[in-house]
Every structure is written in structure tokens, then in C-alpha cells.
């Protein structure tokens, strides 16, 4: 195998060129930063005197030489120099490959041919610089601090600020201090001023309503003028329109009587609680399938409630209990039903100020708010549709507040999906919201639209040029929605 | 024979074979080069182009220039795997006894032209998988080796997608190169007209045997590659993966799945053939640059954004190679490090 001595020489030559270029490169960088130091020293020529010039020259020399030294001592790996040679003479990585493979124990026979070929080519190369000169960016700016340093060196010393505060002692004599008056006089003078300052804001606030519609320039103390000075003015054209258009909170304040009566909440009613228990007891079961133990417990609770409140269903509950003890379940059920009716009547009578009629839903035909016509579920279901409640102005058409709107979960198949932003990283195709919106529940009638959207999706896939790979992904997404 | 002489022999044979193909095929010099590189590298080549550009003719001409058996399968939707591989048939011997005998399918040839491969069902397409990877097929529990060299050249039409079955990624990965056959230039079209409408058809001489092809394949694997060139190949492959921490922005933005390690093998092996075909004994960075697109374009899957933006995969690969070069030592001045 031809010894790659020629290649070694080439690499050493290139490494020397690299070192030379490095010396230039880092000397320029050092000179730039040193020249800044020189400018700084020359700025202090006045206090430093002759030392300023010496320091500037010394800094320049040290910086330049230090940079050059730094460039000279850095090593150039052989592989780097070989690659540089390959690029400089268009040797197509021959030198680097030959040098690397020549010493490898697993070299193939063709490596000998490679080394021989590379040596032959290298011997025919003309000597020139392989490493190009790279001027650093700060080196390009070197003339600026150099020129500045030269100008400062030639110019007279710049006067420097003393660092002391200006002396106002001379002007103090123009405004002689008056002899101090007695304390009573000062107090008399100060009081009216303080009074005026305190008075004006309160006065303005009272005055605000009358000025609101007025035109003309803003008067001193006018709230609208204050508003114009705040950042709210950038959100609304003026204060009046802010009041007119206002946000929803202002509107809510105007409709205080429409706010829900939280005290008559569903769960706050004793009747509701007993009703719920009775419903859970009887739902889906025939009277002969009702557990006597459960029925007894319920009747006991009804009697206890009636005893506590002196209600009129106490007798019915007691009768039911007697029937239970006598083993007459049917009679006990009838007594419980009567007691429940009385409880309901009493409960609704307690809401008499809200224009609600007592009795059962079936007794209020023509004024019921239930537009489904009672075809689904029993009267119990109509009375207490989940999520509908008995809030004032909300459930009965006789209310002066108008008809109730179509509410979520009005249909047993319409389940509201409470949207919830999932944790973790959000992918691009994830529709979950982030931020504030992600914390709010979705009020969309989910089952009402998902089928429609799925059909739209399938139409879109068939019609639009959706990449084939994404068909299954899109369908999977909708499938996942369906399963939630 | 010295190594130098072996290499020169390869260079000369490569040139002669290319000249024979170019007797028939006008233009497409790069395509011909890449087909030959694929053959000598021991891989298979997929040619994609609109009808009438000479894909099938190129393969037939190449087969004519080699002293190798050739078979052609026209892929259709009703083609069955047994139509490709072969099947056991009942034969009767001289004594009147019946027994099963394997009837070889067209896959048992040195050069197999799978014309319009995407017209067959995936089941039939996959019949080629084992043969392409292992150079053997299994029928009735018996593995039967295919003749060497075994070289599959498949064609597909990129525009007629109706009634086609796009090749699955697993099968695409089996192809060393995917070549895009482009429309000829005006001068080339004139030459095609002159050459194909004359009275005497062009004949192609058989210039290379299968044994020589196999010998050249061994030689090619001896070509050395420098560490920094190999590093660049690996970096290019890794840079096609959007999840890689050093992946360039274009890869993160437009790529769904990157190239497999087979892509790196294809890139380096193809580069070795290219280097040797140019009379060079080593792989250079230029070889990687030249073969990055054919070796990787079928191994990279664009994401939705890439598809929607109409990103040209070749341009994307070029940008990835550039960024990989800049990321490795290749793109930096050595004295700045």
C-alpha cells in the first residue's frame, strides 16, 4: 500500500494555513475589543493625563496580540484539515477517506487503490491557500473605534462632569425666607383648602346624572371627563355609550326581580326530598314488588316531617303506617299518595306570591308549560323535569315573566355535555378549548347535532380533496365523539 | 486483476450497458443511471410517471442488454398471488401416480417487470414482499430461492388513481429508489419520433451476464465511506423525523413519518455504486446529495399541512440535506470551531 505521507504533508500544510487564518481572525476580534478599551481610556484623558495614551496603546497591543496568540494555540484536527483540503481542491472527500481508512484494520482491498489514487492527485495539486480568510463581524467594525480613538488622542482632553449637584446657594438669597408666622395663622389658612379638596369628588358624583347627557367640553370634575382619561375610553367611544350599551352586569342589575330565588331551591324543600325518596321507591315497580321495609321508612319520615311542621298530611302518614302494620300494602300506598299530594299542595301554596298554582300538573291543563303533552313519563316527571326547577318566572306559563325557553335535558335523550378541557398537551386537531373557555361547560345539545355533523363530515370527505391518509383519522375522531 | 482494474472494468461495463439502453431510450439519462445504480446495489426500483414516457420500454431494453431472464407481469385488480409466485399442480407420472408439482410463477426470473403495480390488490402486491426482501418465496410451506441477481422494476401511474391500490408503506420501503419519469424535452421528443418511426428497429446487444452483475455487487460493498460522510447520511435520515430533537423546521412542519433505516442503507449503498461508476474509490458528500431524493422520496410521508400546501417532496428533501450539512461539521469552517 502506498504510504500516505503525501497526504500527511498536505494536511499539515492546510493546518498551517488554518492556523494563520485563525491568527488573523482572532487578532481582529481582540483588536476590536481592545480599541473600545482604548476609546474609554482616552475619554478620561483629563484625569489620567499622559497615562491615557499609554493605556490606550497598551490595550490595543495586548488585545491584538492576545487574540493572535489565542488563534495560534488552538489545534486543528487532522480530519478537519483533510476535509478542508478536499473542499479546496475538489477532491470529493478522497483525502479524508484515505487518511481515515488507511489505518483501519478492516480496510478493504479497494482502499489501497483509493490511497494511490489520492496521492497521485495530491501530487499534481498546485500550492495555494486552502483556508479562506474569514473576517469576523466585530472585526469589520474595527475602523470605527480605531478612528474614534485616534480622534480622541489628537483632540484636547474632554471636560468631564464633576459628579456634584449644582450649587444653588446664590439663588437662595433672591427668595428670602419670611419670618415664621404663629401656628394659629397657618392653621386658619390651611383649613379652607383641605375642605375644598375633600368636597369636590362627592359633589361631582351626585351631579353626574344631570351632566351625563350634556354636550360640550368636559368640565372639571365631570365623571365623563374622568372616563375619557382612563383606559376604558379605548374600549367604548364615550362614557354615555358605555352606560347605554353597557355590559351584561348592568342589565342584570336593572332586572333584579328576575334573579333566581335561591332560597326556594329544589333541594331546600322537604317535600322534594320526600318526593324523591318516594319516586326512587316506586319507580319501575308494581305495588306488590315494593319493599315493605322501605315503604315503612318513608312513611315514618313523612309522619316525622308532618309532626314537626304541624302539617295536614300527618294523618295520612299515620294511616299508612297502620296499614303497613296490618300488612295492607295497597292501602299504605294510597295513604302515602294522599300524603304526597297534600305535601305538594302545601309546598306550592308557600309560593303563592309567585303566581304559581297548586295541585298536580294534570289539574292545570291549558296553562301548563309542558309542550310535550304529557306523552312521556308520568305526572311526576312532568312536574320535576330535571334541570327545570321551580324558579320564579321560569316554569309556568302563567308567570308574567313569559314562557320558559327550551332547556337543556328537556328531552330524556338530550344529555348536556359538560365540556372539560383535558389535561396534557393539546394536539393540532384537538377541539378542546384552552384557557377560560376550556373551563366552561358546553351548552350545545350534543346528541341533536352530532349525527348531522357526522353526515356533513362524510359528505365533505367525499367531495373535498382530503388526503387519503386522513380519512380514517377524521372518522376516528367523530367515532370518538360518539362514544363520549 | 488489481483493484484499480476491477474498478475500471466496472466503469466500462456501466458505460456500455447505459449506452445500450440509450440506443432505445431517448433522454432520461438520470433515470437510466439511477436504474442501473439500483440494479448494481442489489435493490429494486419503482418508476412513477404518466403513460407513454417509456418506463416499460426502459426496463425491457435493460433486460435485453443483460444476459438474464426476464418476465413481465401486468398487474390488474383480479390478479392473484398465485399468478405471481406460482402454485402446486397435480401431475401424473409415467406410472400413472399423481402427485403435486410446483409450477413456478413469473417471479422466478432475474428481472421482473411489475407493470402498473398499483392496479393489483394489496394482497397480490404483498406477494412480492418476501421475494423482494429475501430473494425467496414460500409456497406450501416450502421456501424456494429466486435466481440471482433478482431485480424488480415496478411502474405506476401517479394520476389515474381510480381503481388503484396505493402501495403500502411496508412495500414502498422495499424499493431502493423511487424514480420520477418526467416528460421529455422538445429535442428529445424529436429524437424519439425519429428513432421509433424508422424502418429498421434498433437492436440491443447483450453486454453483461448475471455473474458479472453479482461480482460487481460484491465490489461495490468494498467501497469505503468516511465517517463524516456516513454521519451526514445518518443525520439526513434522522432529520426526516419530525420528532427528532434536531429536526429542521421544514421537517417538523410538513412531515408525518420520516425515513426508515432502510433509507440510510439505500442512500449509502446507492452512493457507493455512483462513486464507483464515476471511477471514484470512495463515497463523497456529492453522492449523498445526488441520491437523497430517489432514496427517500417514497419513505417520507407528508402530514396534512404538507399535503395541503402541495409541498414537493424533492424540494423538501433538498432542504433537509442542506440543514443536515449545516448541522454537521461539513458546513462549517474548521477554524471557527
C-beta separation of A15 from A129 below 8 A: no
| Chain A CB within 8 Å of residue B72 CB | no
CA B61 to chain centre: 16
Output the pLDDT for position B318.
Answer: 95
Region of poorest pLDDT, from A412-416, B18-22, B65-69, B328-332:
A412-416
Residues B255-286: tens digit of each pLDDT = 999 999 999 999 999 999 999 999 999 999 99
C-alpha closest to that of A321 among A300, A339, A342 = A300
Tell me: pLDDT of A247 over 80: no
Of all residues in chain A, the one with the smallest CA distance to B309 is: A467
What confidence tier does B129 reach under pLDDT thresholds 50, 70, 90? confident
| Chain A CB within 8 Å of residue B281 CB | yes
Measured from the Cβ of residue A155, the count of other Cβ atoms closer than 10 Å reads 10
Tell me: pLDDT of A118 over 70: yes
Output the pLDDT for position A440.
Answer: 54
The domain boundary residue, chosen from B183, B216, B249: B216
| Cβ pair A117:B166 closer than 8 A | no
Same domain, B36 and B130: yes
Q: By percentage, how much of chain B surpasses pLDDT 90?
A: 59
Number of domains chain B is built from:
2
CATH number at residue B330: 1.10.8.80
Same domain, B178 and B254: no
Q: Which residues contact B141 (CB under 8 A, 6 or more apart)?
A: none
C-beta separation of A111 from A98 below 8 A: yes
**Where are the domains positioned within chain A?**
5-154, 197-209+221-254, 262-364+377-383, 408-423+432-484
| Cβ pair B2:A81 closer than 8 A | no
| Chain A CB within 8 Å of residue B333 CB | yes
Same domain, B185 and B238: no
| Chain B CB within 8 Å of residue A68 CB | no
C-alpha closest to that of B53 among B201, B185, B205, B204 = B185
pLDDT mean over A288-314 = 74
Output the pLDDT for position A196.
Answer: 45
The domain boundary residue, chosen from B216, B247, B274: B216
CA A227 to chain centre: 29
> Buried b vs exposed e over A237-258: b needs ≥16 C-beta within 10 Å?
eebeebeeeeeeeeeeeeeeee
**B273 inside domain:** yes
Same domain, B210 and B230: no
Same domain, B145 and B272: no
Q: Which residues contact B4 (CB under 8 A, 6 or more apart)?
A: A113, A116, A117
C-beta separation of A379 from A360 below 8 A: yes
Output the pLDDT for position B146.
Answer: 93
Same domain, B229 and B283: yes
| ipTM summary value | 0.84
| Cβ pair B7:A96 closer than 8 A | no
Output the pLDDT for position A272.
Answer: 64
Of all residues in chain B, the one with the smallest CA distance to A80 is: B334
Same domain, B132 and B42: yes
Chain A residues in contact with B6 by the CB 8 A cut-off are 110
| Cβ pair B283:A97 closer than 8 A | yes
Record the cell numbers describing residue B153, joined without a space.
422494476
| Chain B CB within 8 Å of residue A111 CB | yes
Record the cell numbers describing residue A129, joined without a space.
491557500
Of all residues in chain A, the one with the smallest CA distance to B336 is: A22
pLDDT mean over B101-128 = 91
Most confident range (mean pLDDT) of A153-162, A414-423, B82-91 is B82-91
Same domain, B155 and B233: no
Task: Give the separation between CA A348 and CA A344, rounded to whole angstroms.
Answer: 6
**B83 inside domain:** no
CA distance A81 to chain B (A): 7
| Chain B CB within 8 Å of residue A98 CB | yes
| Chain B CB within 8 Å of residue A76 CB | yes
Residues paired with residue B92 on neighbouring β-strands, in sequence order: B98
Output the pLDDT for position A405.
Answer: 46
**DSSP-derived pairing of the beta strands B70-74 and B66-67:** unpaired
The whole domain housing B283 covers 223-336
Chain B residues in contact with A469 by the CB 8 A cut-off are 256, 301, 307
What confidence tier does B84 reach under pLDDT thresholds 50, 70, 90? very high
pLDDT mean over A276-284 = 61
Sign of CA dihedral B161, B167, B173, B174: negative
Chain B residues in contact with A468 by the CB 8 A cut-off are 166
What confidence tier does A483 reach under pLDDT thresholds 50, 70, 90? low
Q: Considering chain B, what is the average pLDDT of its residues? A: 89
| Chain B CB within 8 Å of residue A107 CB | yes
CATH number at residue B208: 3.40.50.300
Record the cell numbers describing residue A165, joined without a space.
449637584
pLDDT mean over B225-242 = 94
| Cβ pair A110:B7 closer than 8 A | yes
| Cβ pair A134:B285 closer than 8 A | no
C-beta separation of A453 from A478 below 8 A: yes
| Cβ pair B284:A467 closer than 8 A | no
CA B43 to chain centre: 6
> Buried b vs exposed e over B112-128: b needs ≥16 C-beta within 10 Å?
bbbbbbbbbbeebbebb
Region of poorest pLDDT, from A12-26, A300-314, B102-116:
A300-314
Q: By percentage, how much of chain A surpasses pLDDT 90?
A: 7
SS3 content of chain B, % helix, strand, coil (to 5): 50, 15, 35
Output the pLDDT for position A466.
Answer: 78
CA distance A274 to chain B (A): 58
Measured from the Cβ of residue A300, the count of other Cβ atoms closer than 10 Å reads 14
CA distance B307 to chain A (A): 7
Same domain, B72 and B157: yes
Tell me: pLDDT of A31 over 80: yes
Nearest to A93 among B282, B334, B336 (CB): B282
Q: Tell which B residues from 110 to 139 touch A, by Cβ distance under 8 Å.
A: none
Tell me: pLDDT of A183 over 90: no
Tell me: pLDDT of A207 over 70: no
Question: CB-based burial of residue B201 (10 Å sphere; 0-12 exposed, 13-18 middle, 19+ buried)?
Answer: exposed
Of all residues in chain B, the one with the smallest CA distance to A26 is: B336
Output the pLDDT for position A269.
Answer: 57
Chain A interface test: which of B282, B289, B331 (most A C-beta within 10 Å): B282
**B249 inside domain:** yes
Q: CB contacts < 8 Å between A and B, how many?
A: 98
Distant-in-sequence contacts of A120-123, Cβ < 8 A, 24+ apart: A121/A91, A121/A94, A122/A6, A122/A7, A122/A10, A122/A89, A122/A91, A122/A95, A123/A6
Q: What is the CA radius of gyration of chain B?
A: 21
DSSP letters, B150-216, are: -EEEEEE-SS--TT--PPPHHHHHH-SEEEEPPPPPHHHHHHHHHHHSSSS-------EEHHHHHHH
Which segments of A213-235 does DSSP mark as H helices, in order?
223-229
pLDDT mean over B125-134 = 87
Same domain, B190 and B228: no
CA distance B328 to chain A (A): 12
The domain boundary residue, chosen from B216, B235, B258: B216
Residues B185-202: tens digit of each pLDDT = 888 888 888 888 877 777
- The owner of cell 369636590 is A200
| Chain B CB within 8 Å of residue A430 CB | no
Output the pLDDT for position A463.
Answer: 81
Region of poorest pLDDT, from A49-58, A105-114, A387-396, B114-123:
A387-396
| Cβ pair B281:A18 closer than 8 A | no
Chain B residues in contact with A114 by the CB 8 A cut-off are 224, 281-282
pLDDT mean over B324-330 = 77
Same domain, B253 and B127: no
pLDDT mean over A313-321 = 82
Chain A interface test: which of B226, B231, B273 (most A C-beta within 10 Å): B226
Tell me: pLDDT of A254 over 60: no
Amino acid at each position: 500500500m502506498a504510504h500516505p505521507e503525501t497526504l500527511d504533508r498536505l494536511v499539515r500544510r492546510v493546518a498551517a494555513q488554518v492556523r494563520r487564518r485563525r491568527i488573523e481572525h482572532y487578532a481582529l476580534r481582540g483588536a476590536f475589543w481592545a480599541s473600545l478599551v482604548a476609546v474609554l481610556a482616552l475619554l478620561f484623558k483629563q484625569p489620567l493625563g499622559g497615562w491615557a495614551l499609554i493605556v490606550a496603546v497598551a490595550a490595543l497591543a495586548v488585545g491584538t496580540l492576545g487574540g493572535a496568540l489565542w488563534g495560534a494555540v488552538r489545534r486543528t484536527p487532522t480530519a478537519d484539515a483533510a476535509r478542508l483540503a478536499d473542499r479546496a481542491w475538489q477532491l470529493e472527500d478522497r483525502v479524508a477517506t484515505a487518511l481515515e481508512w488507511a489505518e483501519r484494520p478492516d480496510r478493504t482491498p479497494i482502499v489501497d487503490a483509493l490511497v494511490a489514487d489520492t496521492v497521485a492527485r495530491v501530487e499534481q495539486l498546485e500550492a495555494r491557500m486552502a483556508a479562506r480568510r474569514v473576517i469576523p463581524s466585530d472585526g469589520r467594525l474595527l475602523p470605527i473605534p480605531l478612528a474614534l480613538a485616534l480622534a480622541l488622542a489628537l483632540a484636547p482632553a474632554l471636560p468631564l462632569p464633576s459628579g456634584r449637584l449644582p450649587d444653588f446657594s446664590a439663588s437662595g438669597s433672591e427668595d428670602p425666607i419670611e419670618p415664621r408666622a404663629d401656628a394659629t395663622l397657618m392653621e386658619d389658612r390651611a383649613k379652607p383648602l383641605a375642605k375644598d379638596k375633600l368636597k369636590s369628588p362627592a359633589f361631582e358624583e351626585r351631579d353626574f346624572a344631570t351632566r351625563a347627557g350634556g354636550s360640550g367640553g368636559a368640565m372639571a370634575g365631570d365623571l365623563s371627563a374622568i372616563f375619557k382619561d382612563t383606559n376604558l375610553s379605548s374600549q367604548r367611544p364615550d362614557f354615555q355609550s358605555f352606560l347605554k350599551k353597557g355590559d351584561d352586569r348592568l342589565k342584570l342589575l336593572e332586572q333584579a326581580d328576575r334573579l333566581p330565588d335561591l332560597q326556594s331551591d329544589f333541594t331546600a324543600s322537604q317535600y322534594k326530598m320526600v318526593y324523591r325518596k318516594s319516586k326512587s321507591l316506586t319507580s319501575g315497580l308494581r305495588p306488590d314488588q315494593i319493599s315493605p321495609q322501605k315503604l315503612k321508612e318513608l312513611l315514618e319520615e313523612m309522619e316525622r316531617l308532618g309532626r314537626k311542621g304541624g302539617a295536614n298530611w300527618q294523618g295520612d302518614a299515620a294511616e299508612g303506617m297502620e296499614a303497613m302494620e296490618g300488612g295492607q300494602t295497597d292501602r299504605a300506598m294510597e295513604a302515602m299518595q294522599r300524603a304526597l299530594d297534600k305535601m305538594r299542595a302545601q309546598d306550592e301554596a308557600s309560593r303563592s306570591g309567585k303566581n304559581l298554582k297548586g295541585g298536580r300538573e294534570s289539574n292545570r291543563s291549558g296553562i301548563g308549560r309542558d309542550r310535550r303533552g304529557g306523552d312521556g313519563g308520568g305526572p311526576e316527571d312532568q312536574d320535576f323535569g330535571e334541570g327545570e326547577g321551580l324558579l320564579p318566572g321560569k316554569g309556568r306559563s302563567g308567570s308574567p315573566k313569559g314562557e320558559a325557553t327550551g332547556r337543556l335535558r328537556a328531552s330524556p335523550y338530550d344529555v348536556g355535555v359538560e365540556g372539560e378541557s383535558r389535561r396534557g398537551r393539546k394536539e393540532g386537531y384537538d377541539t378542546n378549548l384552552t384557557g377560560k373557555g376550556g373551563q366552561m361547560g358546553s351548552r350545545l345539545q350534543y346528541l341533536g347535532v352530532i349525527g348531522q355533523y357526522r353526515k356533513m363530515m362524510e359528505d365533505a370527505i367525499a367531495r373535498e380533496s382530503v388526503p387519503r391518509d386522513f380519512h380514517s383519522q377524521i372518522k376516528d375522531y367523530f367515532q370518538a365523539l360518539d362514544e363520549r | 486483476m488489481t483493484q484499480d482494474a476491477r474498478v475500471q472494468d466496472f466503469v466500462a461495463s456501466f458505460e456500455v450497458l447505459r449506452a445500450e439502453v440509450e440506443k432505445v431510450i431517448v433522454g432520461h439519462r438520470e433515470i437510466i443511471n439511477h436504474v442501473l445504480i439500483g440494479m448494481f446495489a442489489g435493490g429494486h426500483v419503482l418508476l412513477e410517471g404518466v403513460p407513454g414516457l417509456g418506463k416499460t420500454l426502459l426496463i425491457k431494453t435493460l433486460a435485453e442488454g443483460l444476459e438474464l431472464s426476464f418476465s413481465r407481469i401486468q398487474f390488474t385488480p383480479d390478479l392473484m398471488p398465485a399468478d405471481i409466485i406460482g402454485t402446486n399442480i397435480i401431475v401424473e407420472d409415467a406410472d400413472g401416480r399423481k402427485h403435486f408439482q410446483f409450477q413456478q410463477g413469473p417471479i422466478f426470473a432475474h428481472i421482473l417487470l411489475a407493470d402498473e403495480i398499483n392496479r393489483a390488490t394489496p394482497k397480490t402486491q404483498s406477494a412480492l414482499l418476501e421475494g423482494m426482501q429475501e430473494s425467496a418465496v414460500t409456497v406450501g410451506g416450502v421456501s424456494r430461492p429466486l435466481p440471482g441477481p433478482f431485480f424488480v422494476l415496478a411502474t405506476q401511474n401517479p394520476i389515474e388513481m381510480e381503481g388503484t391500490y396505493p402501495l403500502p408503506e411496508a412495500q414502498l420501503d422495499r424499493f431502493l429508489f423511487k424514480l420520477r419519469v418526467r416528460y421529455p424535452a422538445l429535442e428529445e421528443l424529436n429524437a424519439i419520433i425519429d428513432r421509433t418511426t424508422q424502418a429498421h428497429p434498433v437492436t440491443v446487444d447483450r453486454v453483461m451476464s448475471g455473474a458479472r452483475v453479482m461480482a460487481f455487487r460484491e465490489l461495490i460493498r468494498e467501497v469505503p465511506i468516511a465517517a463524516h460522510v456516513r454521519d451526514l447520511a445518518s443525520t439526513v435520515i434522522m432529520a426526516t423525523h419530525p420528532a427528532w430533537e434536531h429536526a429542521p423546521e421544514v421537517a417538523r412542519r410538513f412531515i408525518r413519518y420520516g425515513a426508515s433505516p432502510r433509507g440510510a442503507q439505500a442512500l449509502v449503498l446507492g452512493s457507493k455504486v455512483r462513486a464507483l461508476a464515476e471511477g471514484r474509490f470512495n463515497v463523497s458528500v456529492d453522492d449523498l446529495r445526488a441520491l437523497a431524493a430517489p432514496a427517500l422520496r417514497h419513505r417520507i410521508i407528508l402530514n396534512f399541512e404538507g399535503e395541503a400546501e402541495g409541498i414537493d417532496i424533492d424540494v423538501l428533501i433538498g432542504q433537509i440535506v442542506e440543514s443536515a450539512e449545516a448541522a454537521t461539521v461539513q458546513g462549517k469552517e474548521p477554524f471557527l470551531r
